[in-house]
Structure 1
């Protein structure tokens, strides 16, 4: 019996084909055989395996379809069927895309065009990476399906071609879909510019007409659209993605501008810390003869810095350079704000604070009030062990006060505290000078603050008081010592007492004074001799008992009328003007190392109880017992202590383990050290005020003045400043990405 296949006529073949198609359409859909339960998960691709087919129908039924396996996937077939065919991968969650990639990895040809029937969008970066990493689909099949008309088929030879020189070249762009039985261009499919007028979708959807395929390949690979697609394709392969390429370019630009801003900040800080002017006659770095200190420094640095040299070249071309006065003010404001935030963060962390205020007029006759906060900071190491107790007096700015009355000053202070989140209940001290509006006992500022917080004790500036005393005496060394921020009330009283004793002893050493003065006069070529004038006498009347008596010795006259008189005034002033120290010290008697050792248990208990009763919101009732126990534990160490500050270091730093046993001891020490002694820090700021707002800069705005003053006075903080934080804030304020 012959084994040849019977050939039907054309009409019979068409009839059989139509019958087969009709029968297939009546078959039950495959998803009907699966349960919709969440316990059963089938292997199926997500929305990318839509039923949507390419625009041209397949010409034969010999397309090789992969068999459905029993492996699991994350989505059921029912979920896939419910997905709209038109939905792109950009609308599908990342979990679905990952599930689809896991499905593709189980396929023999994961990059087969037939798996990706939906159009890829710009957001399908992960899928493009996947296709690039797994290469073009070029299956090594022995035979390919033939079409019904002409019996033609695809061939592996199309994957290569030989030029005139005999060099064999691989067509890596050409792909073949086993699922669709179509040839396609992978670069055009992934990266073709669909808006190009020469764009042809046939090489994207796939070609199935095998007639003249070699010629079609040659024409396509020389087309402009294909060439650009291949460039993009190779760019993705070499630089991973265009996004990363653009990101690399962006990072380079970001790094450039970060370095520029870093240099600008350094120049601004240098000028601000040296109290120098920024702007000149004209703000033009190229044409102006006097561009000012800021642009002159930039120009000088550009001589040695290629980056700034390129920036000046941009300035000449009219590009953005961030060298304008507006940018300078913005950066000054950012730096000063960061300093201010750091200061108030420390104040909020500290349990107590004191306010120190002093005022003066600037060159423009504007009343400037200098505000300083005194507080305690416990410095800690990397494992949070206390290593130092630091007394800080931090300047927070000059404020223009329009209402100079006590009520107006009070309102300004309360507004500042509220804006910075500070509670007036934490205020324990006020430091002002002797002006009536500040120190008035009934309507002064100190009285109005005390009404809000009774424990905010007023301390008259000791340096001011001492200056009033030493107007009559050459002693001023004590005044300089009192201006230190590390001085506490007890130390100040001790210095005043020593000054009093020294002056009193000096009063009784007139002969020694004369000897020393004579020696100095001879060194300078002067004759150490007092001039004597003729003595005149008042006529004695009849009823007077004695004659008029005058000093005959000019040296004795000098001793009585000048030397002793001046020292007596100074001694009296030292005795009277610092009596207020006694009121404060009497509350903290037990903190003096001498008293802490010598007082009896009953006296020590009484003094500690008195302090606890005065500050009921700050201390526990057990403070007296804590003081007694503290003395018994560290008696030998306390005997070697000479100040409350050193006592704080001993208790808080050296013996930090017992802090939890005597918590109120640390509170008492910190409270005492918080009390102000002088307003010297506020007064020193006026020296900076004269340098910053001078005759040539008399129209400076209040914000700029405050910012420059903060940078100049708190220069130690600026030296430790993190420029990256400033750059980030600067970039965010201008909606510019300077991130690293």
Structure 2
């Protein structure tokens, strides 16, 4: 069952779509980036600066032409999305790889624009933001982070994504952030220094003015904080580490539901995982799955029967090939003698990784339920919604056969009344 089918069922059964969002991987990634952007004041200000740069050029066609003349056929500036945080990669990428050209365009706008406010804004962005080494380091860090998150988000939205593959990708993303926490900052600083030399700015972190205070007579020198902490180390501790640590914590917390899926269905993910279980562990896994699928006094499967079927299936499945859940389900259909195992694998394959397609299904309502169709019945609305959602299946339907069947039914009805 695909994501759009889930959305269609929820829509036709009058189920709140938020019930499907709790397990959506893309929503969880989106909220993870949102959490990262709120970790500290500098992280919040960063995306505000990105939006200010875009707004400066987008306010008029003349300023946009100045931008295009400087970047040529390069990446176009994008507005910062207020909802899809992982799509911020498009806004950051254009500045990350064209910071020199964009800075020149801002200085040119500051020179030619007659509006003092606009001229001052453009000059401030060129000198104070793009001319600040901290901002250059920050844009490299955020590009690395958003590129990794966006890559996984795109993969999770694929139609054939399975829950076991999604778990591996999310675990890989967590591993990436753990490694990036150790080496990412040093690499970002080195790249930022090369860019700083290219755009002719000081490749050093801005030192804050040291606040002098009166020393108390009974004060222990060991209790005083180390005032000699470098500006670079301060940036790493107060900016870089909170953002990356928040990413690791959010991913671990928001994808905790995936761990419960893995604990319940993990022994069914691959043929190698199934064959690796001994009798005791296999029986325990079947019993746990029966309990998880139980509702009241009824369960979708019988744990003891499932154990017998899977024990026999271990001898049927080829040992040299590692089969996935779809391959195993097709194998079971050909044999047609493993009812409980077939149900278990069907349930496994219906777990939604993402509901991006389901969201698009709900968006069909505003196209169908218009003011001109205010008196539409529920049956007609459900029919039109199903047609709109499953339009790819509808393209393969033979209309001529349906028309002929409809005419033949009417002809029989007419002869009955005559």
TM-score (norm 1): 0.34
- Residue 45 of structure 2 corresponds to none
- Residue 618 of structure 1 corresponds to 300
Q: In 2, are the aligned partners of 1:648 and 1:666 still within 8 Å (CA)?
A: yes
- Residue 101 of structure 2 corresponds to none
Question: Which of 8, 25, 33 matches 1:462?
Answer: 25
- Inter-partner Cα distance in structure 1 for 2:248 and 2:263: 23
* 1:728 Cα deviation from its structure 2 partner: 4.4
CA offsets 1:511-540 (integer angstroms, 9 cap, x no match): 122223444666778765433332324443
Q: Does residue 153 of structure 2 align to residue 479 of structure 1?
A: yes
CA offsets 1:619-664 (integer angstroms, 9 cap, x no match): 34322122122123325145x23x4234334x246xx2x332x332
- Inter-partner Cα distance in structure 2 for 1:614 and 1:523: 60
Q: Does residue 376 of structure 2 align to residue 699 of structure 1?
A: no
Q: In 2, are the aligned partners of 1:597 and 1:635 still within 8 Å (CA)?
A: no
- Inter-partner Cα distance in structure 2 for 1:465 and 1:555: 32
- Inter-partner Cα distance in structure 2 for 1:710 and 1:522: 59
Q: Does residue 191 of structure 2 align to residue 531 of structure 1?
A: no
RMSD: 3.9
Question: Which of 17, 20, 30 matches 1:432?
Answer: 20
Relative distance call for 1:681 and 1:600 in structure 2 (3 A) is same
Question: Which of 480, 500, 505 matches 2:179?
Answer: 505
* 1:578 Cα deviation from its structure 2 partner: 2.0
* 1:565 Cα deviation from its structure 2 partner: 0.8
SS in 2 for 1:665: helix
Q: Does residue 243 of structure 2 align to residue 566 of structure 1?
A: yes
Q: How does 1:655-666 map to 2 (within 5 A)?
A: 656=334, 658-660=335-337, 662-666=338-342
- Inter-partner Cα distance in structure 1 for 2:226 and 2:245: 23
Q: Does residue 273 of structure 2 align to residue 595 of structure 1?
A: yes
- Inter-partner Cα distance in structure 1 for 2:166 and 2:412: 53
Q: How does 1:538-553 map to 2 (within 5 A)?
A: 538-546=213-221, 547-550=224-227, 552-553=229-230
* 1:396 Cα deviation from its structure 2 partner: 5.7
Question: Which of 317, 336, 339 matches 1:634?
Answer: 317
Structure 1 portions without partners, runs of 5+: 1-352, 357-371, 375-393, 400-410, 415-429, 435-459
- Residue 645 of structure 1 corresponds to 326
Relative distance call for 1:624 and 1:689 in structure 2 (3 A) is same
Question: Which of 516, 526, 534 matches 2:191?
Answer: 516
* 1:507 Cα deviation from its structure 2 partner: 0.7
- Inter-partner Cα distance in structure 2 for 1:525 and 1:397: 57
Relative distance call for 1:431 and 1:673 in structure 2 (3 A) is farther
- Inter-partner Cα distance in structure 2 for 1:528 and 1:663: 67
Relative distance call for 1:587 and 1:529 in structure 2 (3 A) is same
- Inter-partner Cα distance in structure 1 for 2:24 and 2:14: 21
Relative distance call for 1:523 and 1:596 in structure 2 (3 A) is farther
SS in 2 for 1:486: coil
Relative distance call for 1:482 and 1:520 in structure 2 (3 A) is farther
* 1:412 Cα deviation from its structure 2 partner: 3.6
Aligned residues: 288
- Residue 51 of structure 2 corresponds to none
* 1:566 Cα deviation from its structure 2 partner: 0.3
* 1:470 Cα deviation from its structure 2 partner: 2.2
Question: Which of 380, 386, 399 matches 1:723?
Answer: 399
* 1:713 Cα deviation from its structure 2 partner: 3.8
- Inter-partner Cα distance in structure 2 for 1:486 and 1:673: 10
Bigger fraction of residues in strand = 1
Relative distance call for 1:713 and 1:597 in structure 2 (3 A) is same
Relative distance call for 1:670 and 1:398 in structure 2 (3 A) is closer
- Residue 581 of structure 1 corresponds to 258
Q: In 2, are the aligned partners of 1:431 and 1:679 still within 8 Å (CA)?
A: no
Relative distance call for 1:605 and 1:689 in structure 2 (3 A) is same
- Inter-partner Cα distance in structure 2 for 1:526 and 1:659: 71
CA offsets 1:673-695 (integer angstroms, 9 cap, x no match): 122233222223356567x47xx
Q: In 1, are the aligned partners of 2:365 and 2:385 still within 8 Å (CA)?
A: yes
- Residue 55 of structure 1 corresponds to none
Q: How does 1:660-675 map to 2 (within 5 A)?
A: 660=337, 662-675=338-351
Relative distance call for 1:539 and 1:496 in structure 2 (3 A) is farther
- Residue 680 of structure 1 corresponds to 356
Q: How does 1:37-186 map to 2 (within 5 A)?
A: none
CA offsets 1:343-371 (integer angstroms, 9 cap, x no match): xxxxxxxxxx79x8xxxxxxxxxxxxxxx
* 1:499 Cα deviation from its structure 2 partner: 0.8
Q: In 1, are the aligned partners of 2:178 and 2:248 still within 8 Å (CA)?
A: yes
* 1:722 Cα deviation from its structure 2 partner: 1.5
* 1:504 Cα deviation from its structure 2 partner: 0.4
Relative distance call for 1:614 and 1:687 in structure 2 (3 A) is closer
* 1:700 Cα deviation from its structure 2 partner: 4.0
Q: In 2, are the aligned partners of 1:604 and 1:624 still within 8 Å (CA)?
A: yes
Bigger fraction of residues in helix = 2
SS in 2 for 1:575: helix
- Most deviating of 564-573 and 669-678: 669-678
Bigger RCO (CA 8 Å, 6+ sep): 2
- Inter-partner Cα distance in structure 1 for 2:15 and 2:349: 22
